[in-house]
Structure 1
Amino acid sequence: MVLETFHFLFPTEPLTLFLSHSHMSISKLTTDKVKERADIVEVVGDYVQLKKKGQNMWACCPFHGEKTPSFSISPAKQIYKCFGCGKAGDPIQFVMDIEGLGFQEAIRHLAGKYGIEVEEEATQTPEQNLEQSERESLFIALNFAKDFFVKNLDTPEGRSIGLSYFKERGFTPQIIQKFDLGYALDGWDHLMKAAKSAGFQEEILLKAGLILQKEGDPTRLYDRFRNRVTFTIHNISGKPIGFGARILTKDKNQPKYINSPETPIYHKSDVLYGMFQAKKAIRDQDNCYLVEGYTDVISMHLSGIENVVASSGTSLTDGQIKLIKRFTNQVTVLYDGDNAGIKASLRGIDLLLEGGLNVKAVVFPDGEDPDSFSRKVGSQAFHDYLQANSRDFIGFKIGLYKEEFAKDPIRKAEVIREVVQSIGKIPDPIIRSVYTKEASSLLEIEEGILLSELNKSLIKTQKDQFQKAKEEKEAEDQLEELIPTQVEISAAETLKLQEKETIRLLINYGWQKLDQADLHLCQYLLSETEGIEFQTPIYAKILGLYRARLNQGEIPTHEYFVSQRDAEVKQVVIDMITPRHEISVHWGERHQIFINTESDDLALTAFKSILRLKRRLVQKMMEEAKQKIKSAELEKLDSDKVFELQQVYFELKKVQLEIDKELGIVIG
C-alpha cells in the first residue's frame, strides 16, 4: 500500500503549538455574552444597507470603493466576507475594522449596543490606561473634552453666553443633549488644565487637536477652542472624533467657525455631521437630506426631520458619498435661496450622480436657509415645503438656467451640453435613458439629438478611462521588467496550496462521518497527517489548534476558529468557509438539475486530498534532493555520498509514481 511505503519518509515528532496569552480586563463571561448576543446582520446593518440574495445578505463593501456589491454577510455562520478587498470576520472583528478599535473596545461597544453589563476581571491602573493604543487614547481624550464642553453650559459664563445662544435659536434641552452641544470657556488653558489633572498627556491632547503649540515657542501650549459654542462631531457609532466651534462676538480678526484638524481618528473627507443621529431615519425613509451646516441639521431635527446630514461647509468628497450610499440610494440636496451660490456648488450633484445616487433638490426662498426657514414657518409648513418643492436634478438644473437661455440660443446650447454631461455621470443606463427623455421635453429639443450628444460624452469618458488604464498598465509593465518573474510554481508553493486544501476539508467537514465507517472525517485526516509537519505557518497553527481542541474531547467547527483572538486565523478560516457563489435551490426543486458536490462522497474526497498532500510533499523533498546532488557534484564530494543522495531521490520518485497511480495521473 502506498501509504505504508510513505511513512518511513516523515518525522514522528508532534507539532509544536505556540499560543500567545494576553491580559484581559473584560471578563470572559462578558465576552461570551457579547459573542452570543451580537448578530452579524444587526451589527453590519448599522453601517451599510443590506439586501438579501439567496441565503446571504449583500452590500457594497464599507472598506473599499465599489459599485457592485461583493460584501457578503452569512446569518447562518455569523460572519462577513468581502470578495473584493478580502476583509472578513465576525461581529466583533467588523466593529474593530470599521471603527479602528482594539478587541476590548469593540467588546465594550457591542455590550453597550445590546445592554450587556461589562464585568472587569481586574481593575486597571492609570499606568495601564496610559499604555492603551494611541487611537483608543484619542477617543478617550475627545470624549473627555466633549463632557467638559457640555458641563461648561452649567457654569455662569456658559449659561449667560452659550446656553442663551442655543435658546435664542430655539434649541431644546433634549436637542442640546442629543447633539452633545457645549461651550468652550473664555481662557487660554481651561480644557488643558482639566485634562492634565485627569491624567491626559500633552502629546495625546496635541494629537487629538484639542490644544496648540505657540509659534516660535513649542513649550507654550493653549486650548484650540476658546470662548465659543461647540458642536460635537461623532463617528458613525456615536463616539466624539472632533469639534466645530462658533464664535459669538463680532471679532473681525477671528473666523466665525473653527474646526478640529485631521487626526488619526478624524478624516474630514469621510465624515458627515449628524450621520450618527440620522442613520436609522435615513434607512427607514430611504432618503437622505443633505445640508451645509451644523445648525441646519439641528433645526431640521427640531422640525421632526431626522434623516439629514451636513457636509459642514466643505465640497462633497467620494468618502462622504460612499457613507450616504451605505444607508440609501436617494439623496435630496437642500440649497439656500441664492442662485449664484447654487450654481457654484452644482459640481456636488455630478459627484452624487457619479456615485450611483438618485438626486433631488430643494431651493429655499431668497435669503433663507434650512435653519432660518424652518424657524420662520414652523414644522408643518417646513415639511409641506420640502414635499412640494422637491425636484429631480434634471428639472432643478434646467430651471436654474431657464431665464438665462430664454433669449439666448448660444447659452441654451451650453446648458444642453452641461445637462448631457451630468446625465453621462449616471452609471445605470436605464436611468440615463429616463432622464434623457425628461431633458428632451423640458429643453424642447429632439431626444435623438440629446442621445447623440450623450453617446459622444460617454465615448469620450470611456476613451479617457482607457487611456488612463493603458498608461497605468505600461507603468506596471516597466516595473515588472525590473522584477524577476517566476515562470513555474515551485513545489513549495503547490505544497502550500495542498496544505490549505487539507485544512479547508477539516474546517468544513471534520465533524461529518465517512460512509460505511464509524469514523469522523477529522479522525481520518489527522491520523493520515500524523507526523507530517506543515510547512506553511498559518496552516500549521490551525492544525495545531484543531488537534488541541480534539484532545479536549470536542470536534471544533468554524465557530471555534472564528471566535479566536488571532486575526490571521479568523481571516483564513472565513476565506475557507465562504463560497463566492451558491447554487440556487430552484435548480433541483424546479428544474430537476442536480450537481455533484465534494460532500456527496467525503471518503473519496478525503482520500484523494491526503494523496495529493503527500504527493506535493514528496515533490518538495525531490527538489531538495536534486539540489543536494548538484551541490555534492559541484563540491566534488565522495562518489559514495553522491550515490547515496541519488538513491534517496529514486526512492522518492518511486513513491511519487505509486501515488500518481492511485490518483490516476499518467505522466509520459
Structure 2
Amino acid sequence: MGLSPKTIQEVQDRAEIEEVVGDYVPLKKKGQNMWACCPFHDEKTPSFSVAPNKGIYKCFGCGKAGDSIQFIMDLEGLNFPEAIRQLADKYGIEIEETESSPEQQEAYNERESLYIVLNFAAEYFKDLLHNHPEGKSIGLSYFKERGFSHATIEEFDLGFTLDQWDGLIKAAKAAGHSEELLEKAGLIIKKEDKTYDRFRNRVIFPIHSISGKPIAFGARILINDKKQPKYINSPETDVYHKSEVLYGIAQAKKSIRDEENCYLVEGYTDVISLHQSGVENVVASSGTSLTTQQIKLIGRYAQNVTVLFDGDAAGLKAAMRGIDLILEGGLNVKVVIFPDGEDPDSYSQKMGDEAFKSFLKENAKDFIRFKSDLLLEETKQDPIKKAETIQDIVRSISKIPDPVKRAIYIKECSDILEIDEALLIAEQNKVVLREKESKGDITKRQANYLSESFSQAPEQIQKQYTPFDVAALQERESIRLLLTYAELPLADDKLVIDYLLQELSDTDFIHPVYAEILEDFVSHLKDGTILNESHFIKNGSEEVRKVIFSLYTDRYELSENWEKKFEIYTPHERHILNDSIYIHVLRLKHRSILHLIDKNTEKLKDSVSQEDEQIILQYLMQLNQAKMEIGNLLGMVVVK
C-alpha cells in the first residue's frame, strides 16, 4: 500500500515551512524571511533562509533547498512516504493508502516494522510497571522513591521487565511479531542453543527519537549483583545510532529552543528529575561519551550549553574532555558543579524547584573560569604545572572555530590569569598552526615559520632603542591616530580629537618634526579646521612630508590567508579604537617619563650645586612614582 495523492496534497497544504523547520532550529525574522544557522552543515553566521510566503528554505552556504517535506527527508534521513507520514502525524491528518509496488512496500516495511515492534515493547514494559503485581511493588516503588510523579512516569514512558527469560518474546509472538524482527530491534538475543529477552528484571527507560518514537531502551537493575552491569542499553539498529541520539530530546527540544540553552547531564534519572523540577531544557548522552553528532543535534535548537557535573575528580576530568568537544562544535559552554556527594538528581530534590533553578543560574561558570579554578587549584605554587595549565586552557580556546569568539575568550583568560594577552594570542596561534599541520592543511615548514614569528616579543625589538627613540615612536603614533581617526566617536561619545588633545596637553613632544605637526594641527583647530594628511603633504616641510608618507605607506600588508587559511584573527583597529587609543596614551606618557628620567639622570652626572641636585632628585622621585602608576595600568612589571 502507498499514500494517496489526497493525503500527500493535504500534508503539503498544512505543513507550514516555518513550523516544520522551527521544530529543529531557532528561527529569527529578518525582513520577509526567517534565518538560522544551517542544520545541514557547520557555520558561524546564519545563511539558512526560510521564506514562509513561498513555503521553501534555502541555505546559501551548502546549497540545500526544498519544501517542508524535503526538509524532513534530508534532516531525518527518511524517504518521501516516511516524511509524509511523520508530518501527517504532526498535523493530525488521516492517512489514506493506495496500491504500491512490492519493492516500495518492502523498503517501507523494513523501517516501519522496527518502529512498530519497538513501540509494542515500550507499551509492554509500561503495562508491566502499572498493572503487574511485581511491576507495582518493585518498579513503580523504585520510581516513586526517586520522587517521580505519575505524570512524569507517563511522560517518559517508564516501564519494568519481569525476571523471565522469554516474557517479551511470548507477548510479541502472540501479537504477531517475529523473532527475526525482535532481534533486529535489539530486544532479544539469539545464540546457537537459546533465544532470550535482552532486558530482564529491570526498570526501563525508553529512548525516543526527536519526533517522540521509541527507538531503543536503557535498563537499570534493582538488585545488588556484581555479575551484572548496573545499566544495559539497546544495541545499534537501523533506527537507533546511539552517537546521534540524546536522551530526553523529544521532551526537551521546545524548551531548549525557548530558553536558548541546553542543560547537559550524565544519566537518565538526572534528566527526569530536572524535567520534573521545571528545568525542561535538559538532555543526556545516550549510553555513550558525548559525540560531535550529539553536539550538532543540540546546536539545531540552541547555541548555549550548560554542563552539569557532580564534584568527583573523575567526573570533572571527563567534563573537560566534553567541554573541548562542545567548543569545537561552535557552541558556547558554561559549567555548574554540585557540592561533594551531590548530583543533579539528588540536589534538585533536596533544594526544591525554585531554589534549584536559582542555583543553576547563580553557579554557572564560564568554561575558562571553571578550568582555571579547577586546574590552578592543583598546581598550587608549582610554576611548571601552572604553565602547563595555562597552555591547556589556551588549547581549549583554540578549538573554538569562530576567530572573534577566540579573541574574546583570550581577553577573558588574560584578565583571569593575569597574563599578557599578546603571549596568550601567540600561544593560541601556535596551537592552531600545529592542529592545521597535523591535518595536512599546511606544511611543517609553514607552521614552523609562522610559529617563530609569534615568538618575537616586542621587548626584544625595543631593547635596541634609547628612551628618546621609543618616546619618539609613541609621538609618531599619536600623530597617526590624530590624523586618521580625529572625528570618530569613542565609547563615551567624546571624539578622538578631543580625548587625544586633552591627554596630550600636559605632554611635551621631544621629536622636533612630530612637535611641528602637532603644533600646526592645534593652530588650525582654533580656526575650526581639522587637518588631515593631505594638508601636510601639500604644505609641510620636507621632513614633515617624509613622516606623513611613512605613516600612510606600509611596507608589509597582512595576508588574507591569516584569517581564511590559518584562521588567525587580527581585529581591525576601528573595532578596538577605544582600547587602542587609551593604551597608546598611557604608553606615550610612560615613554615620555622614561625619557625625562634618562635626561635628568644625566644632569646629575654634571657638576651641579647641592641645591640643584636636591631639586633634580625630588623631580626624579616624582617621575618614578608616575612611571610605576602608569606601568601598573599597562600591566608592566616595573622595577623600583
> What TM-score do you get using the length of structure 1 for normalisation?
0.62
Q: List per-residue Cα deviations over 1:258-298 (Å, max 9, x = no partner).
A: 00101111111111101111111011010000000000000
Change (3 A) 1:299 1:135: same
Change (3 A) 1:444 1:85: closer
Residues 1:150 and 2:129 are matched in the alignment: no
Change (3 A) 1:446 1:81: closer
| Offset of residue 435 of structure 1 | 1.6
* Structure 2 equivalent of residue 195 of structure 1: 172
Change (3 A) 1:212 1:83: farther
In structure 2, distance between residues paired with 1:368 and 1:357: 27
Residues 1:40 and 2:40 are matched in the alignment: no
* Structure 2 equivalent of residue 205 of structure 1: 182
Amino acid at match of 1:149: F
In structure 2, distance between residues paired with 1:334 and 1:303: 15
* Structure 2 equivalent of residue 638 of structure 1: none
Residues 1:405 and 2:379 are matched in the alignment: yes
In structure 2, distance between residues paired with 1:47 and 1:209: 28
* Structure 2 equivalent of residue 261 of structure 1: 235
| Offset of residue 453 of structure 1 | 1.3
**Residue 338 of structure 2: SS of its match in structure 1?**
strand
* Structure 2 equivalent of residue 179 of structure 1: 156
Matches within 5 A, 1:479-490: none
In structure 2, distance between residues paired with 1:181 and 1:367: 26
| Offset of residue 54 of structure 1 | 5.3
| Structure 2 unaligned spans of 5+ | 445-640
| Offset of residue 409 of structure 1 | 1.0
Match of 1:169 among 112, 127, 146: 146
* Structure 2 equivalent of residue 306 of structure 1: 280
Residues 1:288 and 2:262 are matched in the alignment: yes
Residues 1:98 and 2:75 are matched in the alignment: yes
**Residue 146 of structure 1: SS of its match in structure 2?**
helix
In structure 1, distance between residues paired with 2:324 and 2:161: 38
Residues 1:73 and 2:50 are matched in the alignment: yes
Larger mean Cα displacement after TM superposition, 151-160 or 458-467: 458-467
**Residue 182 of structure 2: SS of its match in structure 1?**
helix
* Structure 2 equivalent of residue 114 of structure 1: 91
Change (3 A) 1:200 1:87: farther
Change (3 A) 1:450 1:64: closer
Match of 1:277 among 243, 251, 267: 251
| Offset of residue 121 of structure 1 | 5.2
In structure 2, distance between residues paired with 1:469 and 1:182: 56
Structure number with greater CO (CA < 8 Å, separation at least 6) is: 1
| Offset of residue 352 of structure 1 | 0.7
In structure 2, distance between residues paired with 1:130 and 1:164: 43
Contact 1:101 1:135 (C-alpha < 8 Å) held by counterparts: no
Contact 1:290 1:333 (C-alpha < 8 Å) held by counterparts: yes
Q: List per-residue Cα deviations over 1:561-614 (Å, max 9, x = no partner).
A: xxxxxxxxxxxxxxxxxxxxxxxxxxxxxxxxxxxxxxxxxxxxxxxxxxxxxx
Residues 1:242 and 2:219 are matched in the alignment: no
Amino acid at match of 1:250: N
* Structure 2 equivalent of residue 159 of structure 1: 136
Q: List per-residue Cα deviations over 1:323-369 (Å, max 9, x = no partner).
A: 01111111000011213320243111111111111100000000111
| Offset of residue 55 of structure 1 | 4.4
Contact 1:130 1:137 (C-alpha < 8 Å) held by counterparts: no
Contact 2:82 2:108 (C-alpha < 8 Å) held by counterparts: no
Contact 1:234 1:240 (C-alpha < 8 Å) held by counterparts: yes
**Residue 365 of structure 1: SS of its match in structure 2?**
coil
Contact 1:152 1:183 (C-alpha < 8 Å) held by counterparts: yes
In structure 1, distance between residues paired with 2:150 and 2:182: 29
In structure 2, distance between residues paired with 1:132 and 1:201: 17
Residues 1:439 and 2:396 are matched in the alignment: no
Q: Tell me how many residue pairs correspond in the alignment.
A: 441
**Residue 171 of structure 1: SS of its match in structure 2?**
coil
* Structure 1 equivalent of residue 348 of structure 2: 374
Q: List per-residue Cα deviations over 1:90-132 (Å, max 9, x = no partner).
A: 222322333344444433322332233x1545799xxx98884
Contact 2:436 2:442 (C-alpha < 8 Å) held by counterparts: no
Q: Over the residues paired in the alignment, what is the CA RMSD in angstroms? A: 2.5
**Residue 345 of structure 1: SS of its match in structure 2?**
helix
In structure 1, distance between residues paired with 2:59 and 2:283: 28
Matches within 5 A, 1:491-640: none
* Structure 2 equivalent of residue 459 of structure 1: 433
| Offset of residue 302 of structure 1 | 1.3
Amino acid at match of 1:133: N
* Structure 2 equivalent of residue 500 of structure 1: none
Amino acid at match of 2:313: N
Q: List per-residue Cα deviations over 1:386-433 (Å, max 9, x = no partner).
A: 111111000011010232223111111010100111111112222222
Amino acid at match of 1:92: I
| Offset of residue 379 of structure 1 | 1.4
Identity score, percent: 65
| Offset of residue 448 of structure 1 | 2.1
**Residue 306 of structure 2: SS of its match in structure 1?**
strand
Contact 1:321 1:355 (C-alpha < 8 Å) held by counterparts: yes
Match of 2:203 among 229, 233, 236: 229
Larger mean Cα displacement after TM superposition, 62-71 or 224-233: 62-71
* Structure 1 equivalent of residue 628 of structure 2: none
Contact 1:246 1:256 (C-alpha < 8 Å) held by counterparts: yes
In structure 2, distance between residues paired with 1:256 and 1:425: 35
Change (3 A) 1:30 1:71: same
| Offset of residue 371 of structure 1 | 0.4
Larger mean Cα displacement after TM superposition, 461-470 or 192-201: 461-470
Q: List per-residue Cα deviations over 1:227-274 (Å, max 9, x = no partner).
A: 111101011111111000000011111100000101111111111101
Contact 1:292 1:313 (C-alpha < 8 Å) held by counterparts: no
Amino acid at match of 1:373: Y
* Structure 1 equivalent of residue 521 of structure 2: none
| Offset of residue 53 of structure 1 | 5.0
Change (3 A) 1:84 1:267: farther
**Residue 253 of structure 1: SS of its match in structure 2?**
coil
In structure 1, distance between residues paired with 2:443 and 2:13: 47
**Residue 400 of structure 2: SS of its match in structure 1?**
coil
Moved over 6 A (4+): 128-131
Amino acid at match of 1:146: A
In structure 1, distance between residues paired with 2:40 and 2:443: 23
Match of 2:370 among 365, 371, 396: 396
| Offset of residue 86 of structure 1 | 5.3
Match of 1:315 among 279, 289, 309: 289
